[in-house]
Structure 1
Amino acid sequence: MSELVKTLVLKPDISKPRWDQSTFEGRLSHFLTTTNPLNLLTGESQLNDFKHIVDNYKKGIVDDNLTVNGLWKAKHMTESAFHPSTGEKMLVIGRMSAQVPMNMAITGGMLTFYKTPAAVIFWQWLNQSFNAVVNYTNRSGNAGSTTQLLTSYCAATGGALTAALGLNSLVKSAPPLVGRLVPFVAVCVANSINIPLMRRQELTDGISLFDAEGNEVGKSKEVARSAIMQVVVSRIGMAAPTFVCIPVAMNSIVKTEWYKKRPHMAGPIQVLLAGLILLVSTPVGCAIFPQTTPVNVSSLEPALAEKIRSRPNAPQVVYCNKGL
């Protein structure tokens, strides 16, 4: 939309995503923008200009030449580069827009070098180190986040290495395709350890619930378990197409005469395939479940449901931010 923002009677509400997040299509549009690797090409000065536009808009200051599309682009670019709580510029490799280029390189490495213990240790360690950087970059800012990060990093790395090395020893006599799928199992194990550990405080204290106006109305352990499980499923969903489709494709490619003459192309082929698949699977995985999840009060723990019902104008539905 090329309309000037100043000419509009009803101006855009940039406190919410541009697209309807109650539909999969809306969530996919949102995450296609958030995870776009081209965001990384935006220079520092331009990022600062985008942030300046957003900060001014929130104060009611609108440039005469600012269009609706320009405003939304400024919002998307600001959110892709600056931490939502601290306002600080995030580490480049920890941004959501870096997920595709970083993961395509790491995934290609894990799928290419999976036969020797040394290679497995290096690539699984690198993968979990990258995950740790992403978790740190997108941390909530709580005092315990660094401790949680270190604990989950060590546990996830240990779990991934145990799964990968253990399974490699078991599938030595299995068909080649089975061996190629071992890295995927290791990633699933790591995600199943990493995410609950990073968010263990929510499991013990409960995840915050809010009414439609954004007021906190309580915390639920049951909802926390469901939210964290959804995040685990989403992360595995992002990884599954690359770790499953590429081994199946490579199992056929290695039998071709073209490949037999060029065995050194294994790595580049798998990195390229990973990049193409991740361009789709990353936003799709993020969009599987709504980030702001509605929860019926009647489905909450009895004591919490009663507490919410006792409030003035008690809501029938509350919301939680499940995370990514």
Structure 2
Amino acid sequence: MSTTLPKVNLDEPRFDQSTYEGRAKHFFITTNPLNLFATSSQLEDAKSVVEKYRKGEPLPGYNIDDVWKAKHLYDSAFHPDTKEKMFILGRMSAQVPCNMTITGCMMTFYKTTPAVLFWQWINQSFNAIVNYTNRSGDSPIPLKQLGLSYVLATGGAVTTALTLNSLVKKFPPLIGRFVPFAAVAAANCINIPCMRSREILNGIPVFDENGNRLGESKTAAKSAITQVVISRVFMATPGMMIPPFIMNVLEKKHWLKTRPYLNAPVQVGIIGIFLVFATPLCCALFPQKSSIATNKLEEDLQKKIKSSPNPPERVFFNKGL
């Protein structure tokens, strides 16, 4: 290790992940849209700094804060398993700008069947890109599974939106503005479990607090997927539940009535403000390294763990995003 820099573990986040504040700080950095503006040369430089630090090579002119900045930029663009540069729309830093645009259009153009079909399709296409880009390098998502999840989620979202649109016609116009949120929530409840169905069938690795692998658990997989679904739904809630009230007021104002072409841009901007905060804050709801009591695992896995020396009372697993 370089004598000029302290030794830190770059494989773990910089902030304490056992606290909500620490997790929120981590995800504010991870989802920062400004990372999208980094050039290829800047990304390669960040990669070089991280690799040199890990090898203990000298980094003249760098302090530990510079190393962390390089690590955060590196993490924003390179896959953690394959080390390959990720497709730009699938990166976590693209979540806010892409979601605010898609969500704003879904909530602006929600009254006609063609518009519902188009924007729900766009939304699920983006979700498929994100899921594929962030797939596990050790256990990649088969294209057949990705396609099935895509079709089921799109079908569920469209069916929910069209059904609710037909039901809310008798209600005040404001009620209809919440239909896209119901469709998105339904799609998340379909898409994520389907995308991770192999984990439900085969289980996910569980570890003790020292990182020793203890086996695979289907119970832990179900817990992980439930946490991710809850986070995704909560993430969409502020930007899809509050703007309808704001837009309902603004659309009655003369300046927007005479400029209907501003409806979508205004709604996209409002949703963007909410998503800038909701995305990292909701990603941080549950620890990335989640845990479950050993006595809640499958009986055969419980027996295996309890038969080992000093069996842990809790086991840990990666919940995913």
TM-score with structure 1 length normalisation? Answer: 0.95
Q: CA deviation at 1:169?
A: 1.2
Q: Distance in 2 between matches of 1:139 and 1:7?
A: 37
Q: Secondary structure at the match of 1:274?
A: helix
Alignment correspondent of 1:24: 20
Q: CA deviation at 1:171?
A: 1.1
Alignment correspondent of 2:67: 71
Alignment correspondent of 2:209: 212
Q: Secondary structure at the match of 2:223?
A: helix
Which deviations, in whole Å up to 9, do the C-alpha atoms of 1:23-67 show, x marking residues without a partner? 100000000000000001111011011111111222222313221
Alignment correspondent of 2:236: 239
Alignment correspondent of 2:171: 174
Alignment correspondent of 2:314: 317
Q: Does structure 2 retain, via aligned residues, the 8 Å contact 1:139–1:145?
A: no
Which deviations, in whole Å up to 9, do the C-alpha atoms of 1:224-257 show, x marking residues without a partner? 1111011001001110111101111111112223
Select 2:93's aligned residue among 97, 108, 115: 97
Q: Distance in 2 between matches of 1:310 and 1:49?
A: 49
Select 1:45's aligned residue among 41, 47, 61: 41
Q: Does structure 2 retain, via aligned residues, the 8 Å contact 1:27–1:290?
A: yes
Q: Distance in 1 between matches of 2:143 and 2:212?
A: 28
Q: CA deviation at 1:207?
A: 1.7
Q: How many residues are paired up? A: 320
Q: Does structure 2 retain, via aligned residues, the 8 Å contact 1:6–1:64?
A: no
Which deviations, in whole Å up to 9, do the C-alpha atoms of 1:140-166 show, x marking residues without a partner? 133543222111001000000100111
Q: Distance in 1 between matches of 2:76 and 2:212?
A: 26
Q: Secondary structure at the match of 1:7?
A: coil
Which deviations, in whole Å up to 9, do the C-alpha atoms of 1:62-83 show, x marking residues without a partner? 3132211111011111111000
Select 1:224's aligned residue among 216, 221, 226: 221
Greater Cα shift, 71-80 or 140-149: 140-149
Q: Does structure 1 retain, via aligned residues, the 8 Å contact 2:215–2:301?
A: yes
Structure 1 unmatched runs, 5+: none
Alignment correspondent of 2:153: 156
| Fraction of identical pairs, as percent | 55
Q: Secondary structure at the match of 1:6?
A: coil
TM-score with structure 2 length normalisation? Answer: 0.96
Alignment correspondent of 2:110: 114
Q: Distance in 2 between matches of 1:143 and 1:215?
A: 23
Q: Does structure 1 retain, via aligned residues, the 8 Å contact 2:110–2:116?
A: yes
- Mapped pair 1:203 → 2:195: no
Amino acid aligned to 1:186: A
Q: CA deviation at 1:186?
A: 0.3
Q: Distance in 2 between matches of 1:259 and 1:320?
A: 50
Alignment correspondent of 2:253: 256
Q: Does structure 1 retain, via aligned residues, the 8 Å contact 2:132–2:141?
A: no
Q: Does structure 1 retain, via aligned residues, the 8 Å contact 2:135–2:141?
A: no
Which deviations, in whole Å up to 9, do the C-alpha atoms of 1:230-285 show, x marking residues without a partner? 10010011101111011111111122233222222211110100111110000011
What is the root-mean-square deviation in Å for CA atoms of aligned residues?
A: 1.5
Q: Distance in 2 between matches of 1:294 and 1:226?
A: 9
Q: CA deviation at 1:289?
A: 0.6
Q: Does structure 2 retain, via aligned residues, the 8 Å contact 1:47–1:81?
A: yes
Alignment correspondent of 1:292: 289
Q: Distance in 1 between matches of 2:176 and 2:140?
A: 41
Q: Distance in 2 between matches of 1:61 and 1:212?
A: 30
